[in-house]
Amino acid sequence: MLRRIIRTPQISPTRPERSVVAVGRRHASLLSVGNPRQGTQVNPHAYHHRTFPRLSSQSPPPWRPAFSSAFHSTPPNQGGPVIVLLASFLKASTGFELARMASRIVLTFFPILLWKNMKSHKIIKYAAIHGIPAMEEQKKLHMDRIRSRTRLLQIILAIPVVLFWATIVASLECTPLTGRIRMILLSPEEEDEIAARLAGAGWYRAVGDILAAEGSPKVIPTTDWRYQWVQETLRRLESTIPVLAREPELCPNWAERTTPDCPPMPPPAEHPLRPRPRASEYLRWACNRMCKETQIPLAPRPVAGAPYALLLIDKPDASNAFSYGFGPDGGSGIVVYSGFLDDIFANAPVQYAPPPQAPSSLWSRLFGGAPLAPPRPQPTAEQTTELAILLAHEMAHLLLAHHLESLSSVTVIVPGALSIVSDIIRVLIFPMTMMFGPFVNDAVAQLGKVGSGELLKISEACTSTNQEIEADVVSARLLAHAGFDARAAVTFWEDRAAQLGCAKHTPTEEPVVESTNFNLARSIMGTTHPVHELRIGSLVKELERWEEERQKALSTPARPK
């Protein structure tokens, strides 16, 4: 019958095409039951599959039988959420502890497996040299054991290495406004705990403990005109924080200048100011991208921190300031010493604002009026600019979360890495220390402590230098958006370097000659390029880059809207 249908030259309008019938026959053969040699018996419960719909002969649509289910391939699972979850787990201080514990377990089993392999090799070699008749099965058994131990040794050695570098990669992030790649090994829960501890009155308690090491501090009250002047300048700088997140929109005409001496404006930053994203946001972003196959940006959040806390300390012999803290609700702020304000007013005479004139009356003419208020000092624009330069520098440290980075580096990253390295060294030199007794072991341990202390100081010095340079660059951007001349920062820091050295975001200057460890760290780093020269050079290069970007923007024709 099938042969007759295929040989028919014309297709009946009431009969399906031959390809349809052939496919139907194939489906029917699949549904048939019975022994092929005894004949084909059709399953009565599946007979309705052989009934085909009628097709029109005029415009036959593409055949799609109603009984066949649509075929689709399962989309591949790339494991994005799993990777994000793993990264969020490793981006914590426990990630380094896990890698350190895994390395200690591996170093415990490493000598045992290595000794067993050496023993098996010696057995095989001894049998070959002395002509001991050994069975091939025993030799093969020893070789299989050696291969199994070697494979196990490779696996357990790879586990701590993978955990270590996975923790490092999960902790990397891009610094806003500068694009520097840094590493912060703290989980969101640990950051929230730090911020909650410093919020509100916690910041004043923490700063009070720092200042107590220098003696009993005397706080300038908020009613003092100096406090009000510093606070007004700080709030003026804080008003530029939203601009740093939307520079292309809020400053479209940054390249235009009304006069040649107009203060320069910075080009839009390649990495705008954004709050540090959380692991939950990355997970939501990855899931949405996998499901919808579109890049969904992270939800914008305001930068936490401002308004910052402020504290003025009456200490004439200290001419600097420092910033401290992390988080919103007053968890971060700036401490300014009165000695710095005295230096500002020492360069130029203090000007006083005229007191307000009291309204004259008959009573005041006859008996005299109330005593006039003392004239209030009126800082000049140059003096306010000097104050703003130092405040912008300290505020840049808070915006970029430098204190969180330093805390992560000093308390988690460097000690954890040094601990892993010291464990490896102790395992390698264990035969020597075992041979020479506990005295050599104690000497090696003491040497390790001294070396770790020196490496920690070198790491702190390198981190502090990078952060100071980065804060200078970002402070120039803050000054420009706040209406100050950023070029004045170069002159300011040059004068400070010549007089007192660079102001740091630490409460006290580090000793230069009293600490031999500090001298050793400095000698390893090199003293041919002092820190203040690097800072001033980086600031000058940043201002030159502004001018280059401005010339490039002016030479590029504007795109039609």
Q: What is the mean pLDDT of residues 89-93?
A: 63
Q: Estimate to the nearest angstrom the gap between the alpha carbon of 450 and the chain centroid.
A: 30
Question: Which of 139, 174, 209 corresponds to the end of one domain?
Answer: 174
Q: At 183, give phi and psi (nearest 5°).
A: -130, 120
- Whether 470 maps to a domain, the answer reads yes
Note whether 245 and 128 are same-domain residues. Answer: no
- Whether 196 maps to a domain, the answer reads no
Note whether 21 and 124 are same-domain residues. Answer: no
Percent of the chain clearing pLDDT 70 (strictly above): 61
Query: What's the whole-model pTM score?
Result: 0.70
CA 349 – CA 143 distance, rounded (Å): 90
Note whether 25 and 127 are same-domain residues. Answer: no
H or E element: which one contains 42?
Answer: strand 41-42
- Whether 204 maps to a domain, the answer reads no
Q: At 261, give phi and psi (nearest 5°).
A: -90, 10
pLDDT band, very low/low/confident/very high, at 125 (cuts 50, 70, 90) = confident
Q: What pLDDT, on the 0 to 100 scale, is given for residue 10?
A: 47
Q: Name the packing angle between helices 381-399 and 488-499 (round to 10°).
A: 90
- 461, 522 Cβ separation under 8 angstroms: yes
Question: Which of 152, 174, 196 corresponds to the end of one domain?
Answer: 174
Residues forming a β-bridge with 324: 333
Residue 84 has pLDDT above 60, yes or no: no
Q: What pLDDT, on the 0 to 100 scale, is given for residue 476?
A: 96
Residue 289 has pLDDT above 90, yes or no: no
Q: What is the mean pLDDT of residues 162-182?
A: 88
- Whether 396 maps to a domain, the answer reads yes
Q: What pLDDT, on the 0 to 100 scale, is given for residue 153?
A: 86
- Of the listed ranges 79-88, 90-99, 366-375, 455-464, the least confidently predicted one is 79-88
Percent of the chain clearing pLDDT 90 (strictly above): 23
Q: What pLDDT, on the 0 to 100 scale, is given for residue 547?
A: 92
Q: What pLDDT, on the 0 to 100 scale, is given for residue 241?
A: 92
Which residue range forms the structural domain that includes residue 466?
Answer: 218-274+301-351+376-555
Number of domains in the chain: 3
Q: What pLDDT, on the 0 to 100 scale, is given for residue 315?
A: 92
pLDDT band, very low/low/confident/very high, at 490 (cuts 50, 70, 90) = very high
Question: Which of 174, 199, 229 corresponds to the end of one domain?
Answer: 174
Note whether 459 and 311 are same-domain residues. Answer: yes
Q: pLDDT tens across 23-74, in order?
A: 444 444 443 444 444 444 444 444 444 444 444 444 444 444 444 444 444 4
